[in-house]
Amino acid sequence: MLNLDRARCLIGSRGRSLAALILTLALTPAAHAEDHAGLSDPNIPFTKYELDNGLDVILAPDGSTPVVYVSVWYHVGSKDETEGLTGFAHLFEHLMFQGSLSQPDEYFGPLQEVGASINGTTSFDRTNYFQSLPSRYLPLALFLESDRMGSLLPVLDQEKLDNQREVVRNERRQRYENPPYGEAFKDLFEARFREGHPYHHMPIGSHQDLEAATLDDVRAFFEAWYLPNNASLVIAGDFDEDQARQLVLENFGGIPKGEPPTRRAAVSPAIDETKDLRQYQQVPEQRLWVAFDSPAFFEAGDAELDVLSSVLSDGRDSRLYKRLVRDKKIAKSISTSQFSGKLASTFLITATAAPGHTTDEVMAEAMQVIDEVLGDKPPTEDEVKAAIAGFERSFYDGLLTNSGKGETLQRYNMFHGDPDYMSKDLARYRAVTPTSAVETGKKVLQAHHVALHIWPVTDKPEEAN
């Protein structure tokens, strides 16, 4: 699953013996459940509690290595921004590393000196900050995290805002505007989600909004969202739980609770008409993106579309790859994904046309294959079993590192308020059948969609000039 907060395919290398075990266990859903009798589903031992100021705290001790992982999720992303004030969640991903009251210099310095690995990311749905470091430096990590949660604004000045605003604008140029096809996702999501929907704009924001942002605007955004009662803290790895509780209380307990943030009203994400967008750019080859409206993260049908995506494009023998790339050779590459978010999801087809062929040919052939899969050539039991086995592997792989455990607990806590959701999440996949995958696929992939074709300017038809 590729989703607005998670990319299950971005998993590291897998141990062969473990993969073989799970593949062996990948039976039909009914038999699969029976086969797991006596076996434990993957789980992460943890304790969750809440401070008086509303901060969720999740402790997951594991003393196998002398390393600890500290993660703070703020339940704010670009979906929570308002018109004219976009890019603020991502801007704060940068500003939060520029120092706080007790550490006015850059956040990286004290932690890098002790060998920590540090970063942060922003999505449509959340912003996270994390560090992995030798366990004896846990007090330092918690002190710095709490200081920027509770004491960032006293040292946030115009110079820091101007500096990081330019950093973000340069990032936008480097990641979106300058590379070939760099603005494809931006254009696709603007067309897929109507104006006014929280996912209509990308987390990077716009130059216009970033330039217009005042220090008061930015401060107000922080005061509204970066609150202990809108955040969750995970500590995973080698630590003493009693000591960790005391450190958390000492560092975070005194941060005042804020008013619950007001979130934007829901707007229908449905694509109400089929759109065909065509662009001619300085790019080397023709590429295609097709977006379909699909169920939100964890909703009914979300897992079915993950499985269907695997059947369609995972591996050389998958339906789309075999037909378009191996047999007919009209595409150089093709992939599908269920790009899942808290408010809505997008089932996405991405393809590159082979030399001498067009994205129109690719799309026509791809839709024919999809219609066959949803019609007289449905997924086989073996294809569905293999897809489920792949997702089971990803669940087990998520337990191999402290960071994997920490982010898994954070994700379930934010989306469900229950970090202990792994077995239920895995059960969604084990319940998928060829029939349920087809039923969901018909609702999603035979409905309105948005197609974006990007062609080299040299391929522009005469009538389009």
Of the three residues 252, 285, 303, the one that is the final residue of a domain is: 252
pTM: 0.89
- Domain assignment of residue 84, given as a range: 47-252
Q: Which of 117, 111, 13 minimizes the C-alpha distance to 69?
A: 117
Say what the pLDDT of residue 232 is. Answer: 98
Q: What is the pLDDT of residues 380-393, one digit of tens each?
A: 999 999 999 999 99
CATH number, position 54 = 3.30.830.10
Say whether both 187 and 275 belong to one domain.
no
* Domain count for the chain: 2
Within-domain flag for 257: no
Q: CA 104 to CA 144: how far, in whole Å?
A: 11
Say whether both 332 and 237 belong to one domain.
no
Within-domain flag for 263: no
End-to-end CA distance of the chain: 40
Say whether both 217 and 235 belong to one domain.
yes
Say what the pLDDT of residue 357 is. Answer: 98
Q: What is the pLDDT of residues 408-433, one digit of tens each?
A: 999 999 999 999 999 999 999 999 99
Say what the pLDDT of residue 418 is. Answer: 94
Low-confidence ranges of the chain (pLDDT < 50): 1-39
Say whether both 30 and 67 belong to one domain.
no
Buried b (16+ CB within 10 A) or exposed e, 70-99: bbbbbbbbbbbbeeebbbbbbbbbbbbbbb
Say whether both 167 and 31 belong to one domain.
no
Say what the pLDDT of residue 40 is. Answer: 63
Say whether both 144 and 109 belong to one domain.
yes
Say whether both 187 and 211 belong to one domain.
yes
Say whether both 90 and 203 belong to one domain.
yes
Say what the pLDDT of residue 462 is. Answer: 76
Within-domain flag for 177: yes
Say whether both 81 and 30 belong to one domain.
no
Say whether both 412 and 285 belong to one domain.
yes
Which residues have CB under 8 Å from 286's CB, separation 6+?
352, 353, 357, 358, 359, 453, 454, 455, 456, 459
